[in-house]
Amino acid sequence: MTPPWLVVPAAGCGRRMGADRPKQYLTLEGRTVLAHTLMRLHAAFPEARLCLCLDGEDRHFDSAWVPFRDWRRVDGGVERVDSVINALEAIVAEGADEQAIVLVHDVARPCVAADDLARLFAVVNDDPVGGLLAAPVADTMKRDDGAGRVARTEARAGLWHALTPQGFRLGVLRRALARARADGVAVTDEASAVEALGLSPRLVPGRRDNLKITHPEDLALAGQILAAQVSGAIPTDDEECR
């Protein structure tokens, strides 16, 4: 299979972390979060081509953290969706075909497993719409009343946590994001934009330890996950990790 294009939006400031720098530059097990994430992607797709979306005034980035041979820096936008659109336009400028596979991955997910990456890529290659890593909801879900109290309990059957990467063909993703932007549709992830086209992306079961670092306590948890993965303390069998 032709290696995918990888898009990694990394232009955010991570205000919820309350740190002195964007969360992708916080240290995790001796490396920045960004470096860990790119290493995981490279381990699965060493021949992939990377678009790394960075703030135009980023002063923390070090190109030594990028393990890919074929990569380019792309200016990030005001919102994540703008960064992804900029990356897609850069891919088009490189002469990529509309059928090229593009995987978009959150820079703040450094614990993604190689077997999940490989499985998603295989599914997306054979699916006319595309798909995303996801995990079935395991907790009881509560809907609040807007004032800090429970309004009702939501049935969790059929609910999934959307993870990344999310993978689609270049042409489909470009059309979806352009339409969403033109129609003022809120794009919470790439799949939501594709859904707005009337398409149904494939849900690809992924490991629950594919944590997104969002809050301060997540950084320590990600460190524990990485250490456990390296030591083999976290099972790799699919049935153990779903």
- What is the tens place of the pLDDT at every residue in 91-132? 999 999 999 999 999 999 999 999 999 999 999 999 999 999
Question: Measuring CA to CA, which residue among 157, 159, 102, 158 is closest to residue 131?
Answer: 102
In a domain, 110, yes or no: yes
Number of domains in the chain: 1
- Domain membership of residue 81 as a residue range: 5-133+161-241
In a domain, 26, yes or no: yes
- What residue has token string 């707005």? 196
In a domain, 147, yes or no: no
For residue 76 the two structure tokens come to 């990030």
pLDDT at 83 over 50: yes
Query: How buried is 22 (Cβ within 10 angstroms: 0-12 exposed, 13-18 middle, 19+ buried)?
Result: buried
In a domain, 113, yes or no: yes
Distance of CA 89 to the CA centre of its chain: 19
- For residues 53-74, average pLDDT: 97
pLDDT at 241 over 70: no
Which CATH number fits the domain that encloses residue 210? 3.90.550.10
- What residue has token string 């934009």? 193
In a domain, 18, yes or no: yes
pLDDT at 158 over 90: yes
Question: Measuring CA to CA, which residue among 197, 192, 165, 169 is closest to residue 102?
Answer: 169
In a domain, 152, yes or no: no
Please work out, in degrees rounded to the nearest 5, the angle formed at the alpha carbon of residue 18 by the alpha carbons of 54 and 164.
50
In a domain, 145, yes or no: no
pLDDT of residue 235: 60
In a domain, 149, yes or no: no
- Report the predicted TM-score, pTM, of the whole model to 2 decimal places: 0.93
Query: Model confidence at 239, in pLDDT bands (50, 70, 90)?
Result: very low
